[in-house]
Structure 1
Amino acid sequence: MKTMSPLRITHLVWITASIMALSAAQDIPRIKDLGCVNDYDTKMVCFWEVVTGDANCSSDFQLKYANTDTENEVLYCKDLGNEYRENFRVANKCVCNIDVKNLISTDRYHVQVESQGRTEGEKTIAIFSSIKPKPPSLLEVNLSDPTNGVVKWKTNYENEYLATFLSYQIQFISVEDGKTAWEHPLEQMEPLRYKFSKRQLTRGSEYKVRVRTKHKQTQIIWSEWSPAYTFRN
């Protein structure tokens, strides 16, 4: 029986190790479009897309973050998982919800996404330029006046000072065809209400009204829409 030389054995071991390393590297999910937004209060949300296909975000990744002023204090995201849209899991989108005691507009956070000990993405996030406010909540649509209606809502910010930095957009949608009847930008308002003429809408028709908001100074990212309120004109 012919035996292999030590050199040939070494060569085969090197090839085998290389193939295993390449296979392991191919198993590591790759990501793109890492980003974060914050509600200018107590929550930051980071998200990314997995370019290598289906992923179990909670087990495939970990996200660590640190305030750039205190980088020696590295924290890990505890609420990491796949994104859900209308109760359906999105296979290639990950989202991480981070609770922060007190977000300050001048803060910057360094976030880093790892998989199997390897850094797959990192980014420094400026709090002020990544504000996505909390969505408002509609309280009521008052139709008691025969000529005008009044929409009232709240900001969902306990800190009234933060609420002074918000501007709004209101939108009326026809229930019959789903088309926007009209929408209107609104500057800072106190109290939070909008009076509209009933003549702008078709009498007897049903409409949905909703409100969203953004930070007046950054003017970058809209909040999600408030839940819609349905009424008959």
Structure 2
Amino acid sequence: ADMILADDNYATIVSAIEEGRGIFNNIRKFIRLLLSANFDEILIIFFASIMKFPPPLLAVQILWINLITDSLPALALGMDKPEPDLMKKKPRDPSEPIYHGMGLYILIAAIIAAIASLGAFIWFYRNSTLEIARTVAFTIAVLFELFLSFNCKSPNKYAFSSIKILTENKTLLFSILGGFLLQLIIIYTPFLQPIFDTYPIGLKEWGIILLGSLGGLILYPAPFEKLENKIRRFFKRS
């Protein structure tokens, strides 16, 4: 048999389908966030090297972003509750890849994050010191991804349109707050500064950081996924 009902209750099938859809959606949220972050880092390093600038991010900073800043929210997204209207949606095509519709969003998010980090790095490198420039670029990359994780949680809704959306996944909320607190610690703790090549920055730098990371607050997946699907259909017809 393809399916065995251990409790002889057909309602179990509905619950199983809902659970499966929820797990599938959470995997997509996880992938969407991590790929955006990784592609962002690649673009920052690539274009900085082309323009003959010092690396805006060092290896230890990239490891910090991948292992701490991105991983904690990504794991929290993997434990997200199913959306209330999940069972009202049409079944997906089984042949459709898990990353279907994500490409454009990942690309745009990574480009905006890279422009913000690299732009701030170049400005501070020319007008201040390499240590400050690198700390600002590093922190923009971190905050951008922390903010982006809110919108990756609710791909069909703008996360900041509702307090409920922001607070219903407590694990995600605490992982984002924890990631921000850890970033402050490695910036302002003297014995950690030489390890992570950070420098204690002031209010001016924080203003630029918050401005540069705003893209993570604004971008949410739904419009980009719709546009990507329209582009796919157009090329299939032509």
- In the superposition, the TM-score normalised over structure 2's length comes to 0.24
Larger relative contact order (CA 8 Å, sep ≥ 6): 2
- In the superposition, the TM-score normalised over structure 1's length comes to 0.24
Greater Rg over alpha carbons, structure:
1
